[in-house]
Chains A and B, each alone.
Chain A
Amino acid sequence: MEITTHDLWTALHGMGFGALFMLAFTGAIVELYRMSAPGAPSLMSARERTLLNFYLWAMVVLAWLTVFSGTYIIYPWYRAVPPAGVTDLAEYPRRLLLSSGRTSQWHNVGMEWKEHVAWLAPIAITMVAYVASKYSRAIVQHGRMRVAVLVFIVAAFVSTGIAGGFGAFLNKYAPIRGGDVIILMGEGK
């Protein structure tokens, strides 16, 4: 059983950072609502508010790790240019997608949107974490601010969903390949 360094980084970017960030949204939305709703059925204790702040700032870290690892580690492999004469494009995902009219839109629309829209998420979630930490339960006095926080966290969720969804499909049609081989387990029988 083996894995390449490119596979490992791609999995870490998509599953380790991105998917974990995505999974955290439901909890964040529910807890933000609970903290900020004027008629919330149960008020949060100080300890719960501290935990929510930690949770939101952990999301901020995951969001930035996702976009930076995607842009500066994986994207260069995606857009690598094959040397002259190379006909097997398996290790050049962008060129592989663009080589056929049946797959080119996965790059022209999917990848182009993914690589840009993904950057809205860390900006939005950083603002949400800051406002939640700064105001905590006092946000209940600022109804419109509460609306903005909820709109931006939903926007972060949507942009992450777009980026993650296209990422999953792109990795199906033109996976990132190559890199050094890491042997995880010896040969089986």
Chain B
Amino acid sequence: MSVVQNQVGTGETVDKIPNGPGAAAILAAGVGCAAVGIVTLASELSDAVGNLLNFYNPVGALSGKTTVAIIVWLIAWFVLARLWAKESVAMGTVNLVAFILLGIGFVLTFPPVWTLF
């Protein structure tokens, strides 16, 4: 397999790799972070959801919230990585969406925000 190389900077040569796999990991990380926030909020707003997420009694709903978020993150990563394995995607758009999702993760895990819903 030949490796395509690209010259950058002052005479330095690096392998040319499409941005798809990296973009998939970045967007999936955003999805995972948002999933933590969304599942947390859902659990706080609904006792039924909270009870459903009680996978392990000593830990309570936190066990389900984190397990679900990790599964969502890994599935998103797997699917996006398959789709974009050899693609070059619009990285600006991927970043924007990933940062918004990351922000959702931070905001929705902050308890005072739960009272707004």
Query: Which A residues are closer than 8 A to B by beta carbons?
Result: 38-39, 43, 67, 71-72, 75-76, 79, 108-109, 112-113, 115-117, 119-120, 123-124, 126-127, 130-131, 134-142, 144-145, 147-149, 151-152, 155, 158-159
Contacts and interface: CB of A to CB of B under 8 A. Distances in A.
A178 B44 CA distance: 30
B6 to A, nearest CB: 6
B6 A141 contact: yes
Given A43-B12, A76-B58, A142-B22, A119 B111 contact: no
Interface of B: 6, 8-9, 12, 14-17, 19, 21-23, 25-26, 28-29, 32-33, 36-37, 40, 56, 58-60, 62-63, 65-66, 69-70, 73, 91-92, 94-95, 98-99, 102, 105-106, 109-112
A135 B94 CA distance: 17
Given A71-B59, A144-B91, A152-B29, 16 more contacts: A43-B12, A67-B66, A72-B59, A116-B40, A119-B36, A123-B32, A123-B36, A126-B29, A135-B22, A136-B14, A138-B15, A141-B14, A142-B22, A145-B26, A155-B102, A159-B106
A148 B95 contact: yes
Nearest to B12: A43
Nearest to B105: A120
A10 B32 CA distance: 27
Contact of B26 (A39, A113, A148): A148
A119 B66 contact: yes
B82 to A, nearest CB: 15
A39 B1 CA distance: 30
A144 B92 contact: yes
A147 to B, nearest CB: 6
B16 A140 contact: no
B69 A119 contact: yes
B33 A138 contact: no
B67 to A, nearest CB: 10
A127 B109 contact: no
Nearest to A131: B22
- The CB with the most chain A CB atoms within 10 A, among B26, B69, B98, B105, is that of B26
Of all A-B residue pairs in the complex, the 6 with the closest CB atoms, nearest first, are A76-B58, A127-B29, A116-B109, A144-B91, A123-B32, A112-B111
A79 to B, nearest CB: 7
Nearest to A155: B102
Contacts of B73: 123
A116 B25 CA distance: 21
A103 B108 CA distance: 23
A127 B31 CA distance: 12
A144 B95 contact: yes
Nearest to B98: A148
Given A145-B91, A152-B29, A120 B22 contact: no
A127 B28 CA distance: 8
